[in-house]
Amino acid sequence: MTQTIRRELRQKFIEIVENEDLSPNQMADMLADAAIELRAFKTPTARIDRTEEEQEELDRKKTAWLFPASQAEVESCLHFNPLPWSSNREWERLEKFVVAEYRKDKNIWQRYDTWRKGDGKYAGYLSNKAIKYRPDDFIACFPDFLAHTAMYGKKSGAEVKVDADGAPITW
């Protein structure tokens, strides 16, 4: 496939270069446009040709580097001993969920713990024991936290003060 793209680009470039009426800037613009045009047509086909398994593997590799950091953050902020990551389908779903939420907000788990402890109102909301034995329930209940903190903001006690490096400040 790369050879085909190269051949087509080369042919298009020769057509442009042989046009003697062009200034160097016009020629450079036309060459860049030709490359972009050809790439725009070829790139989507390469993605369509991937099998579902190849796409899953690619997605897994994209998030693999982020998982150790998000895993450590969850275990640290929510005060867990090592959790049984990847032990079954529920824990695989929790892994994906943890990475997705951590990618959106690096302090999300600290904020969740602060909210959960808060003013006592949510103290028994979802204990660590409940999270450990029913990770799907944690995923299902997490939007409650997001909605509450979005609605009440700083009043919820879910705000985390951070230092200049972005690390949470503990009292």
**In the structure, what pLDDT confidence band is assigned to residue 67 with cuts at 50, 70 and 90?**
confident
Residue 36 above 60 pLDDT? yes
Domain containing 41: what range?
A: 2-49
Judgement on whether residues 21 and 67 belong to the same structural domain of the protein = no
**In the structure, what pLDDT confidence band is assigned to residue 48 with cuts at 50, 70 and 90?**
low
Judgement on whether residues 145 and 63 belong to the same structural domain of the protein = yes
Residue found by looking up tokens 């409650």 in the block? 144
Predicted local distance difference test score (pLDDT) of residue 1? 56
Judgement on whether residues 44 and 101 belong to the same structural domain of the protein = no
Judgement on whether residues 9 and 88 belong to the same structural domain of the protein = no
Which token pair is 139?
């995923």
Judgement on whether residues 27 and 90 belong to the same structural domain of the protein = no
- The pTM assigned to this predicted structure is 0.54
User: CA-to-CA distance for 70 and 98, rounded, in angstroms?
Assistant: 6
Q: How far is CA 28 from CA 21, 38, 41, in A?
A: 13, 15, 20
Mean pLDDT, to the nearest integer, of 82-97?
90
Judgement on whether residues 24 and 98 belong to the same structural domain of the protein = no
Judgement on whether residues 28 and 98 belong to the same structural domain of the protein = no
- The fraction of the chain above a pLDDT of 70, given in percent, is 71
Mean pLDDT, to the nearest integer, of 54-63?
72
Residue 162 is assigned to a structural domain of this protein: no
Judgement on whether residues 68 and 148 belong to the same structural domain of the protein = yes
DSSP structure class, residue 1: -
Residue 113 is assigned to a structural domain of this protein: yes
Counting Cβ atoms within 10 Å, is residue 8 exposed (0-12), middle (13-18) or buried (19+)?
middle
Judgement on whether residues 92 and 149 belong to the same structural domain of the protein = yes
User: CA-to-CA distance for 85 and 89, rounded, in angstroms?
Assistant: 10
pLDDT by residue (tens digit) across 103-118?
888 889 888 888 888 7
User: CA-to-CA distance for 136 and 93, rounded, in angstroms?
Assistant: 8
Residue 169 is assigned to a structural domain of this protein: no
Predicted local distance difference test score (pLDDT) of residue 43? 47
**In the structure, what pLDDT confidence band is assigned to residue 156 with cuts at 50, 70 and 90?**
very low
**In the structure, what pLDDT confidence band is assigned to residue 45 with cuts at 50, 70 and 90?**
very low
User: CA-to-CA distance for 74 and 45, rounded, in angstroms?
Assistant: 39
Residue 164 is assigned to a structural domain of this protein: no
**In the structure, what pLDDT confidence band is assigned to residue 89 with cuts at 50, 70 and 90?**
very high
